[in-house]
Amino acid sequence: MITFEEKLRLQKLAGIILENKKYGEYLFGGKNSGVKIDWYDEEKEPDTPAEKKLFDLLYNYVNVGPTDDNKGEWSLDSYYNVFQNVKKDYPEILNSNIPNNKPIYRGTSISPNKLNELFKTHKMIKSTIDGKEYIIILDTIYSSRRKISSWTPNFKIAFENFAHDIWREGNYGVIIKAIAGNAELIFNPLFINKLSGNTFNETEIFNMTNPIKVDIIISIKYFQ
């Protein structure tokens, strides 16, 4: 008779095997997914129904962005466990290839009240990045309302796209910085660029670690 723990391990293994069968030998190996975006030169195998659904979701997410309409089974968050189970089976697409010691960045917003609270409770330094001065709040915790969030290893992209100005309702646009080794990253940025048709090498990646330890980078112009 097998033990309860052995039964749980077998159930988990069976779940992973079934998950893999849902996506075939090649992830997005079909003409309407991988070939469509020029990831593959020719069709490796037809996409399964599960692949088609996931590809459409990713395509909309990358080209339109996450919206409150994309909930439930059509939310990228609903694939959190799937990505964990199959990440090792499709490294060409699902591995980010970002070195563990490399910083990654995300643009977000923060209220003046929250900022004042952090000023009182956390250590701060002044730093110059690309010729511009910033205040950096060290060693705080960031929690996203989504399980899977979009990041980039390119500071300039994060700043120019997300944090160059004061956001709606008077919130400050800021950059949060984490270390790649502290994050569970998925998707090869080259694949994401193909998916979006981006020719500017934006280097978008997805992070599944939430909450995560970060530094908060704020333009000093807000205080001048």
Per DSSP bridges, beta strands 185-186 and 124-129 are unpaired
The C-alpha angle 164, 189, 84, rounded to 5 degrees, equals: 110
DSSP state of 131: T
Tokens linked to 130: 């690309």
Check if the beta carbon of residue 147 is closer than 8 Å to that of residue 210.
yes
pLDDT at 163: 57
Model confidence at 193: pLDDT above 70 = yes
Tell me the range of 11-25, 61-75, 152-166, 180-194 where mean pLDDT is highest: 180-194
pLDDT in tens, 28-63: 999 999 999 999 999 999 999 889 999 999 998 888
Tokens linked to 29: 């190996």
Q: Between 94 and 112, whose confidence is greater?
A: 94
The residue type found at 12 is: K
pLDDT bucket at 7, cuts 50 / 70 / 90: very low
Strand partners, 166: 172
pLDDT in tens, 101-130: 999 999 888 888 998 899 999 999 999 988
Check if the beta carbon of residue 211 is closer than 8 Å to that of residue 142.
yes
Strand partners, 217: 136, 175
> Model-level pTM?
0.82
| Residues 6 or more apart whose Cβ sits within 8 Å of residue 75 | 66
Check if the beta carbon of residue 157 is closer than 8 Å to that of residue 202.
yes
pLDDT at 109: 85
Q: Between 18 and 166, whose confidence is greater?
A: 166
Model confidence at 165: pLDDT above 80 = no
Model confidence at 162: pLDDT above 70 = no
Strand partners, 215: 177
Strand partners, 188: none
* Residues of the chain above pLDDT 70, percent: 80
Tokens linked to 25: 């030998």
Q: Between 187 and 7, whose confidence is greater?
A: 187
Tokens linked to 65: 């962005």
pLDDT bucket at 13, cuts 50 / 70 / 90: very low
pLDDT bucket at 14, cuts 50 / 70 / 90: very low
The CA distance from 203 to 193, in Å, is 7
